[in-house]
Structure 1
Amino acid sequence: MAQFDVYENKHPKTRRLVPYLLDVQSDLLSDLATTVVIPLCLAAGGNPSSMTRLMPRLEIKTEYYLALTPQLAGISRKELGAVVDNVSAYRNDIIGALDFLITGI
């Protein structure tokens, strides 16, 4: 498990709207039974410019998804599905969104 890995959402009730979960927790904490994730939803119709900083657009398997940063959650690692991608290339955007969520700047 690595920071910025994207996992399939195994939860049947939310999988249709949120097909993927982005692990944002530091690799230094990989021994914990839980991890912090950002839900990802398909980016339909673009990304509103006012929300770009809070909800960056990420390319996964040739499609674009929005990081729903305000829905940040801690979950058991057992709830994660298979790894489908790693979006480390978007590290600055993801960390920026988390920073904006927490500090507002």
Structure 2
Amino acid sequence: MAQFDVYRNPSKKTDKAYPFLVDVQNSVIDQLVTRLVVPLTTSNTKNSFYMKKLTPEIEFEGTTYLFLAQQLSSIPEDVLNERIGSLEQSRELLIDAIDFAITGI
């Protein structure tokens, strides 16, 4: 598993609203059995979640998604079994969103 890998959301309850999860955990703590993930949602879902710095728009598989940094959560590593891509090219933007969620800067 690598930081910024994208996985299909394995949850049948939430996969329609949040089809993908982005692994944001650094490899320095790979020994944990959990991963820190941030969901992606379609960008046409512009509601109270939409704040450009907190929820940047990300292009993935030809569709625009919002990266919902405020929904950072931990899930068991073994449920992330279908890696379908990477957002490594958007690393700075994603880290800025997480930093904004935590520090407000």
Q: TM-score, normalised by structure 1?
A: 0.91
Q: Which residue of 1 aligns with 2:12?
A: 12
1:95 match = 95
Q: How many residues align?
A: 104
CA contact (8 A) 1:58 1:66 kept: yes
Distance in 2, Cα, partners of 1:59 & 1:97 = 15
Secondary structure of the structure 2 residue equivalent to 1:94? helix
Q: CA RMSD in A?
A: 1.8
Matched with 1:37 is 37
Unaligned 5+ runs, structure 1: none
Contact 1:41 1:68 in 2 (8 A): yes
In structure 1, C-alpha distance between the alignment counterparts of 2:87 and 2:103, rounded to whole Å: 23
Cα distance in 1 between the residues matched to 2:43 and 2:85: 17
* CA distance in structure 1 between the partners assigned to 2:4 and 2:47 by the alignment: 21
User: What are the ranges of 5 or more consecutive residues in structure 2 without an aligned counterpart?
Assistant: none
In the TM superposition, structure 1's runs of 4+ consecutive aligned residues that sit over 6 Å from their partners are 45-48
Which TM-score applies when normalising by structure 2? 0.91
Q: Percent identity?
A: 39
